[in-house]
Amino acid sequence: MPPNASQQQAELLHRLHGPGKVLVLVNAWDAVSARVLERAGASVIATTSAGMAWSLGYADGERVPGDEFVAACARICRVASVPVTVDLERGFGSSTDEVCELARKLIDLGVVGLNIEDGVSPETRRLLPVEVICERIGALRTLATQTKVRLFINARTDAYLAGNSGQASRFDEAMRRARLFASAGADGIFVPGMDQLEEVARFARAVELPLNIYAGYPGIPAVEALAAAGVRRVSLGCGPLQSALGLLGRIAAETLSQGRYDTMTSGMLTASELNRLFAPSESVS
């Protein structure tokens, strides 16, 4: 994507997080899901790291080889005409330099937003040290300046998903990390697992950056209620793919056990509709 186009997409992504707005992200995992979402009205294409991993034949948790990850992002960027933001998990690298090397490749593709997290380590079941993530956020901010793209850095803390600490201590730890992330240069704060409206509202009042809530599982308040609580970004994450795969399982079970196709043929897109998603006039090179 030409530099000017990336700059414009980045500015648009920032504006979509503005006061009084709520950005709803139904996350994509490949090129066709990105096009279907854009046709449905998505103003931003956000990737799901778990969904991308599963679609490429890997378990979640930075197990996708770097070249495959970049190639998958490239296919999404090729067909998207709206801003693209990519979930980097913890950065796909053991060092800050490795994280920035990957991020530069994504920026060159036209990516204008990145998620970076302190996610739970599979080995220790603990969050990455906050200093590590803050260093990576600061380096990404510097990289954005160097590339002249106003990258939207959405910093995620998994304080609500780690260990067995109580609700109050999870809130306090999430708040502590969010403030440090903000000081390091983050543009937004993502707290998956926080789903009680009173807590969400208290958190949103206490942080200046846009608050992102994960809504990929049952029982999450509706977008309207989250927006009223001060949330400015709602992500469905891997939920859409989980639902789609559940539907695929039901289609297979019905056909294999009953010899029927009712589930499959109810609401399916036609081949012509899908082909039109990739017509030259509806995609970008």
Domain boundaries, the chain: 3-237
Confidence bin at 164 (pLDDT 50/70/90): low
Q: Are 101 and 75 in contact (CB under 8 A)?
A: no
Architecture label for domain 3-237: Alpha-Beta Barrel (3.20)
Q: Are 121 and 162 in contact (CB under 8 A)?
A: no
Q: How confident is the model at residue 11 (pLDDT cuts 50, 70, 90)?
A: very high
pLDDT digits (tens, 9 = 90+) for 139-160: 999 999 999 999 999 999 999 9
- pLDDT tens for residues 34-45? 999 999 999 999
pLDDT digits 0-9 by tens, 43-69: 999 999 999 999 999 999 999 999 999
pTM: 0.94
pLDDT at 66 (0 to 100): 96
- The dihedral built from the CA positions of residue 269, 273, 278 and 282, taken in this order, carries a sign that is negative
Look up residue 188 and give its two tokens.
């937004």
Round to whole Å and give the CA distance between 25 and 151.
17
Under the banding of pLDDT at 50, 70 and 90, the label for residue 284 is: very low
